Amino acid sequence: MEKRILTARFGKIDPLSIDDYIKNGGYEALEAAVKMESDTIIDEIETAKLRGRGGAAFPTFIKLKALVGEKEKTRYIVCNADEGEPGNFKDRHLMENDPHQMIEGMIISAYTTKAKKGYIYIRGEYDHSIAVVREALAQAREKGYLGKNILGAGFDFDIEIRSGAGAYVCGEEFALIESIEGKSGRSRPKPPFPTTAGVFMKPTMLNNVETFANIPHILEMGGKAYAKIGTESSKGTKLISLSGNIANRGVFEVPFGVSVKDAIAKLGRGVADGRKLKMVQLSGASGPILPPEKIDVPIDFDHDIGAGAIIVMDERTDVVDILLRHAEFFEHESCGKCTPCREGNLHLVRLLRKVQAGSATADDLRVMENLADVMINVSLCGLGQSAPIPLATALDGFGDQIRDRLAQTETKENA
Amino acid sequence: MSVLQNILKQNPKSEDYLIETLLSLQDAKDEPCISEEEIADIAEYYGISPTRVSSVASFYTLLSLRPRGKHVVQVCRDVPCYLNGSENILEAVKEALGCDIGETTADGLFTLEETSCLGNCDGSPSVRIGKKTYENLDSQKVKEIISGYREAK
Ligand SMILES: Cc1cc2nc3c(=O)[nH]c(=O)nc-3n(C[C@H](O)[C@H](O)[C@H](O)COP(=O)(O)O)c2cc1C
Ligand code: SF4
Ligand code: FES
């Protein structure tokens, strides 16, 4: 069931040794790339149908093309290693076990787009990832994969690490860009997109760790061969993060198309301690909450896999508790720039506390549904737009359990 | 040269290094927090307003304008950790420290905080103390870890 491409070297190489990486095929894709035309590289990535692994599933070749087409020649390559969505930890595993493939992907992207500078934005809590990537960058520089006149091919590129400081919203592309600029992380209205006006208002290609890590593999096997892996909509493999009440927690790499159900049963070895499954949440705190009968769906971009989190919850779990915890997360993490998200999350927390206390009415529930609607439709960035998704989907799958928690007095009041 | 002056010299003199500077400064101090005078000095160095510095420092949860204990204990509160018993961990930590969330122990050694997901859900429940993340905890283990810090001072 597993297909190990990005994780193939995990445990086999010393992540702190670039020589290990090179002995195992590392930097061969870059060697090949610098002999290729920029357009050919973009074609391969288009043929591979590579889509972003950070959650939005945007086709990567379009960003490369956009950068190449910009008049402005100062361009940036940014790697998003902020990974703050509860339930996701695969980028940490990628950086700590095999950091160079992400770096190699960034260098190839820089060669393709003539960008001279890159940033890796790593969340501040990932001290070990930061240390490993810092050492990997130093070794790459020493070997001439970074710096001036890389591989004698006449292009310069270097990468700097920027540390996050504990703000989930900084995973959102514009908030991340603001943070790199040394500001509070708040989103900006789009367009213009980062490919036109990103870091310091210059054209910027911003991608997830796993997305960059795929690029060397695509050049090695060729876009066509890569596109044979996976499903119609989703090509290649996906790293999934299994967590919660599951026997075998961890990161696994599967070809797109494997079902969520099978991944839980076979890779995760089922619900922990032989308990019964109550619900599964895909993608993380902002993803749908599904009842057991709805988890026989493929892991792909048509089924809300997001960045690949699968959170398993057993029979002891209370759906209202979970919704409240998520709502508190979003209330805390909202950057406060736009009203629907700032106020909406506050109200959702307040109302869910009422539901939990058994004092909410059917009217409160209707208010929550309306709020969710408004937040999804008019919030400025993905945080506010997706915060109510767990609530909206739980009302579908577990609506009765939520309504059972409403105040018993309600019928009298309404009468 | 002062600690702050040394840190400022580590990076180019450009205001996009503000967050890096604030993080490094906190790491270098006995108590991880940023003072009024430091804010003024940093603002002057980069040629920006003190309000800009303090608003950044208050936006990010790893940065603090309030004095904190030497060891900041952050208990993860998000769902994967919650499913694996983080509430018991929080209770155990409160008991071991004798203080509540947001408070600092009388000896100034610890501050207790809750944190959003640490990206360590495969080792949940997880707790971060200073710059180190501890995983697969139970009440007993976390109390022992805290005792370890207390003895080491
Ligand atoms: C609130 C919020 C948090 C996000 N966090 C992350 C993150 O931690 N890592 C990530 O790669 N993308 C994250 N994203 C998605 C990014 O905005 C962006 O789409 C992505 O980094 C683009 O890279 P990709 O095309 O390779 O996926 C987040 C989006 C939102 C709205
Ligand atoms: S949706 Fe939320 S996080 Fe995004 S800009 Fe609005 S307030 Fe900020
Ligand atoms: S929820 Fe605690 S580490 Fe992710």
Domain limits, chain A: 18-227, 237-314, 319-414
Residue of A nearest to B55 (CA): A184
Which residue from A88, A325, A328 is facing B119, i.e. has the nearest CB? A88
Residue of A nearest to B21 (CA): A182
Instruction: Output the pLDDT for position A415.
Output: 43
Instruction: Output the pLDDT for position A408.
Output: 76
Probe ligand 3: pick from B124, B135, B142, max atoms within 8 Å of CB?
B124
Residues of chain A in contact with residue B118, where contact means CB-CB under 8 angstroms, are: 125
Which residue from A89, A167, A329 is facing B59, i.e. has the nearest CB? A167
Residues of chain A in contact with residue B61, where contact means CB-CB under 8 angstroms, are: 165-167
CB contact under 8 A, B62 and A83: no
Residue of B nearest to A268 (CA): B122
Residue of B nearest to A242 (CA): B122
Question: In tens digits, what is the pLDDT along chain A, a chain of 415 residues?
Answer: 999 999 999 999 999 999 999 999 999 999 999 999 999 999 999 999 999 999 999 999 999 999 999 999 999 999 999 999 999 999 999 999 999 999 999 999 999 999 999 999 999 999 999 999 999 999 999 999 999 999 999 999 999 999 999 999 999 999 999 999 999 999 999 999 999 999 999 999 999 999 999 999 999 999 999 999 999 999 999 999 999 999 999 999 999 999 999 999 999 999 999 999 999 999 999 999 999 999 999 999 999 999 999 999 999 999 999 999 999 999 999 999 999 999 999 999 999 999 999 999 999 999 999 999 999 999 999 999 999 999 999 999 999 999 999 987 555 455 4
Could you say which residues of chain B have pLDDT below 50? none
Whole-number Å distance, alpha carbon B123 to ligand 3 midpoint, is 8
A61 alpha-carbon distance from chain centroid: 18
**Separate counts of helices (H) and strands (E) for chain B:** 7, 4
What sign has the CA pseudo-torsion B29, B30, B31, B37? negative
Q: How far is B26 from chain A (nearest CA, A)?
A: 11
Which residue from A241, A317, A328 is facing B83, i.e. has the nearest CB? A317
Probe ligand 1: pick from A65, A208, A214, max atoms within 8 Å of CB?
A208
Residues of chain B in contact with residue A167, where contact means CB-CB under 8 angstroms, are: 59-61
**Position of tokens 């960008």?**
A115
Contacts of A255 (CB under 8 A, 6+ apart): A3, A229, A230, A236, A237, A238
Contacts of A191 (CB under 8 A, 6+ apart): none
Q: How far is A390 from chain B (nearest CA, A)?
A: 12
Q: CB under 6 Å to ligand 3: residues?
A: A 86; B 76, 78, 80-81, 117-118, 120-121, 124, 126
Q: What is the CA radius of gyration of chain B?
A: 17
Residues of chain B in contact with residue A333, where contact means CB-CB under 8 angstroms, are: 116
CATH of domain A319-414: 1.20.1440.230
Closest atom, ligand 1, to C-alpha of A173? 17
CB contact under 8 A, B16 and A182: yes
Closest atom, ligand 1, to C-alpha of A210? 26
Buried/exposed code over A247-268 (b: 16+ C-beta within 10 A; e: otherwise) = eebbbbbbbbebbbbbbbbbbb
> A403 with A368: CB under 8 angstroms?
no
How far apart CA A353 and CA A360 sit, in angstroms, is: 8
CATH of domain A237-314: 3.10.20.600
Residue of A nearest to B120 (CA): A89
Contacts of A84 (CB under 8 A, 6+ apart): A123, A164, A167, A168, A170, A171, A333, B116, B117, B119
Among chain B, residues having any CB pair with chain A shorter than 8 Å are: 15-20, 22-23, 55-56, 59-63, 77-80, 82-84, 115-124, 128, 131-133
CB contact under 8 A, B83 and A86: no
Largest CA distance in chain A: 82
Q: Which two tokens stand for residue A204?
A: 């910027």
Instruction: Output the pLDDT for position A236.
Output: 98
For residue A46, CA distances in Å to A207, A222, A303, A314 come to 15, 11, 22, 41
Q: How far is A166 from chain B (nearest CA, A)?
A: 5
Q: How far is B139 from chain A (nearest CA, A)?
A: 18
Residues of chain A in contact with residue B20, where contact means CB-CB under 8 angstroms, are: 162-163
CATH of domain A18-227: 3.40.50.11540
Q: How far is A93 from chain B (nearest CA, A)?
A: 10
How far apart CA A232 and CA A210 sit, in angstroms, is: 20
Whole-number Å distance, alpha carbon A411 to ligand 3 midpoint, is 40
